[in-house]
Structure 1
């Protein structure tokens, strides 16, 4: 999508299972995140990315996801344009992750 790198649910699962250094970031809203997340992901609403982009790791593959893949694609494009970091978009978002039979967990109550 739009010249950004993408991975499907099976590809992301393979990356995670292989031990690849993946920094998984959920850019959905708090109410969406409360419904379930991909285990190990960091919550970073899309609108906060400009404030937090300099805190992202340079030595890990950054994978953004949202509900359907549109907001996370925006996050990938924004990051590339403003930092040169080429993040990866989860194609189809958490919907495709769940529909592929992958595990979704409730976020930790903090």
Structure 2
């Protein structure tokens, strides 16, 4: 199986600070994202990823985000098997020191 790509919260923050346009997807539950998401992230709950696959573009890379990096890792495995380019944000929002909104 292809190895899962990862990105640290610091790497992500540096890219965003540098103005890079990234596709961020937060897979947490509604009550979790209500407490703050990384600006620009799209919210698609983990359980609804399969029915939302056609809203993803196979030419783009998506960075998957959850609370600790566990659920987003599962989503990455699943999407990678479906042929999508994904990267897991290791440590999740627990490690995120940047801005949230």
Distance 1:4 1:52 in 2: 21
Unaligned runs of 5+ in 1: 106-110
Higher strand share: 2
Taking only aligned residues, the RMSD between alpha carbons, in angstroms, comes to 1.6
Alignment of 1:85-100 (within 5 A): 85-97=84-96
2:96 paired with 1:103? no
TM-score of the two chains, using structure 1 as the length reference: 0.83
Distance 2:46 2:65 in 1: 10
1:59: how far off?
Answer: 4.0
1:93: how far off?
Answer: 0.4
TM-score of the two chains, using structure 2 as the length reference: 0.89
Instruction: Spell out, residue by residue over 1:47-85, the C-alpha distance to the aligned partner (whole angstroms, 9 max, x if none).
Output: 110011121133432000000000000111010112x11
1:35: how far off?
Answer: 1.0
Alignment of 1:1-110 (within 5 A): 3-82=3-82, 84-97=83-96, 101-105=97-101
Distance 1:74 1:15 in 2: 24
Distance 1:15 1:53 in 2: 25
